[in-house]
Structure 1
Amino acid sequence: MGDEVKATHYSGAHRREYRRKVQQCLDVFETMLRQSSFDFERPLTGMEIECNLVDEDYQPAMLNQKVLAAIADPAYQTELGAFNIEFNVPPRPLPGRAALELEADVRASLNAAEAKANEHGAHTVMIGILPTLLPEHLAGGWMSDSARYQALNDSIFTARGEDILIDIGGPERLTLQTESIAPESACTSMQLHLQVSPAKFADNWNAAQVLAGPQLAIGANSPYFFGHQLWAETRIELFTQATDTRPDELKTQGVRPRVWFGERWITSIFDLFEENVRYFPSLLPELSDEDPAKELAEGRTPQLAELRLHNGTIYRWNRPVYDVVDGRPHLRVENRVLPAGPTVLDMMANAAFYYGALRTLSEEERPLWTKMTFAAAQHNFVEAARLGTAARLYWPGLGEVTPDELVLRQLLPMADEGLRRWEVAVEVRDRYLGVIEGRAKTGRTGAVWQVETVHALQDRGMTRPQALAEMLRLYCERMHSNEPVHNWDGP
Structure 2
Amino acid sequence: MGQDLSADGFNPRDRARYRRKVQRCLDTLGMMLSEGGFSFPRRHIGLEVELNLVDAAMRPSMTNAEVLEALDNPSFTNELSQHNIEINVPPRPLAGDSMLALEHDLREYIEKAEEKAGASGARPAMIGILPTLTPDHFDQKWITNNTRYTMLNDQIFAARGEEMTLSMDGAALTGCPPERLRTSAESILPEAACTSVQLHLQVAPEEFAAHWNAAQCLAGVQVAVGANSPFLLGKALWHETRIPLFLQATDTRPEELKNQGVRPRVWFGERWITSIFDLFEENVRYFPGLLPETDGEDPLEALAAGRAPKLTELRLHNGTVWRWNRPVYDVMDGRPHLRVENRVLPAGPTVVDMMANAAFFFGAQRALAEAERPVWTRMSFQSAEENLYAGARNGFDAQLYWPGLGWLHPDELMLRVLLPLAYDGLRRARVSESAINRFLGVIEQRCLTRRNGAWWQRETVARAQRAGTDRDTALSAMLSRYLELARTEEPVHTWPLED
Query: TM-score with structure 2 length normalisation?
Result: 0.97
1: CA distance, partners of 2:3 / 2:274: 29
Report the identity percentage.
59
Q: Which amino acid aligns with 2:49?
A: I
For the pair 1:300 / 2:310, whether they are aligned, the reply is no
2: CA distance, partners of 1:286 / 1:99: 38
For the pair 1:335 / 2:342, whether they are aligned, the reply is yes
| Contact 1:276/1:314, CA 8 A, preserved across alignment | yes
Return the offset for 1:8.
5.2
Return the offset for 1:137.
2.2
Give the structure 1 partner of residue 173 of structure 2.
none
Give the structure 2 partner of residue 149 of structure 1.
149
Give the structure 2 partner of residue 410 of structure 1.
417
Deviations 1:142-175 (A, max 9, x none): 1100100011001101111111111011121101
Deviations 1:56-103 (A, max 9, x none): 111000000000111111100000010000000110111111111111
Give the structure 2 partner of residue 183 of structure 1.
190
For the pair 1:454 / 2:461, whether they are aligned, the reply is yes
Unaligned runs of 5+ in 2: 171-177
After the TM superposition, which parts of structure 1 deviate over 6 Å for at least 4 consecutive aligned residues?
none
Give the structure 2 partner of residue 204 of structure 1.
211
Give the structure 2 partner of residue 440 of structure 1.
447
Q: Which amino acid aligns with 2:155?
A: S
| Contact 1:53/1:63, CA 8 A, preserved across alignment | yes
| Contact 1:8/1:147, CA 8 A, preserved across alignment | no
> Where does 1:4-23 land on structure 2 (aligned, <5 Å)?
4-7=4-7, 9-23=9-23
For the pair 1:280 / 2:287, whether they are aligned, the reply is yes
Give the structure 2 partner of residue 428 of structure 1.
435
> Where does 1:5-404 land on structure 2 (aligned, <5 Å)?
5-7=5-7, 9-170=9-170, 171-404=178-411
| Contact 2:138/2:185, CA 8 A, preserved across alignment | no
Of 427-436 and 34-43, more deviation after overlay is shown by 34-43
2: CA distance, partners of 1:232 / 1:180: 24
> Structure 1 pair 486/121, CA: closer, same or farther in 2 (3 Å)?
same
| Contact 1:8/1:148, CA 8 A, preserved across alignment | no
Of 32-41 and 413-422, more deviation after overlay is shown by 32-41
1: CA distance, partners of 2:320 / 2:69: 27
2: CA distance, partners of 1:477 / 1:137: 24
* Cα RMSD for the two superposed structures: 0.8
Return the offset for 1:459.
2.0
Q: Which amino acid aligns with 1:95?
A: A
| Contact 2:63/2:83, CA 8 A, preserved across alignment | yes
1: CA distance, partners of 2:496 / 2:9: 51
Of 420-429 and 258-267, more deviation after overlay is shown by 420-429
Number of matched residues?
491
Q: 1:489 aligns with which of 479, 493, 496?
A: 496
Q: Which amino acid aligns with 2:329?
A: Y
| Contact 1:48/1:89, CA 8 A, preserved across alignment | yes
| Contact 1:352/1:429, CA 8 A, preserved across alignment | yes
2: CA distance, partners of 1:354 / 1:139: 36
| Contact 1:8/1:151, CA 8 A, preserved across alignment | no
1: CA distance, partners of 2:496 / 2:215: 32
Deviations 1:271-322 (A, max 9, x none): 0000000000000001101011111111111000000000000000000000
1: CA distance, partners of 2:407 / 2:195: 30
Deviations 1:420-464 (A, max 9, x none): 001111111111001000110111010000000011112222211
| Contact 1:26/1:274, CA 8 A, preserved across alignment | yes
> Structure 1 pair 140/295, CA: closer, same or farther in 2 (3 Å)?
closer
What's the secondary structure of 1:141's corresponding residue? helix
Query: TM-score with structure 1 length normalisation?
Result: 0.99
Give the structure 1 partner of residue 174 of structure 2.
none
Return the offset for 1:41.
2.1
| Contact 1:258/1:313, CA 8 A, preserved across alignment | yes
Q: Which amino acid aligns with 2:60?
A: P
> Structure 1 pair 27/116, CA: closer, same or farther in 2 (3 Å)?
same
What's the secondary structure of 1:102's corresponding residue? helix
Deviations 1:197-216 (A, max 9, x none): 11000000000000000101
Of 92-101 and 15-24, more deviation after overlay is shown by 92-101
Deviations 1:370-426 (A, max 9, x none): 000000000000100110110000000000011010000001100000000011111
2: CA distance, partners of 1:258 / 1:9: 22
Unaligned runs of 5+ in 1: none
Q: 1:463 aligns with which of 470, 479, 483?
A: 470
